[in-house]
Amino acid sequence: MPKYIIERELSGAGNLSGEQLHGISQKSCGVLKELGPQIQWLESYVTPDKIYCVYIAPSEDLIRRHATAGGFPANRISEVKSIIDPTTGDA
């Protein structure tokens, strides 16, 4: 199943409290349950003004449905084509 990186522009994201992040996470998980097991949230990275989320889903459309239902921005959705790490360069 395809893996996606979702870029969510959210001014001040890096200043969100633990309680606020907890609430966002709960909302996201609730929407995921409604959408069914085909879409999975793996992890997210919070930066000063954006949140980058990693999802597995059969289509970009399902990710957009999640964003709409949860009231989350999904400013850019990019399908991951390959994954590399330091060991990719090993002989």
Model pLDDT for residues 25-78, shown as the tens digit of each residue:
999 999 999 999 999 999 999 999 999 999 999 999 999 999 999 999 999 999
pLDDT confidence of residue 91:
73
Q: Is residue 60 part of a domain?
A: yes
CATH number, domain of 51, equals 3.30.70.3090
Specify the number of domains making up the chain. Answer: 1
The pLDDT of residue 44 is: 98
Please give the pLDDT value at position 71.
95
For residue 28, give its domain range. 3-83
pTM confidence score: 0.91
Q: Per the domain annotation, does 54 fall within a domain?
A: yes
Backbone angles phi, psi at 75, to 5 degrees: -70, -30
89 belongs to a structural domain: no
Going across the sheet that includes 76-79, the strands are: 40-46, 50-56, 3-9, 76-79
* Amino acid letter, 68: T
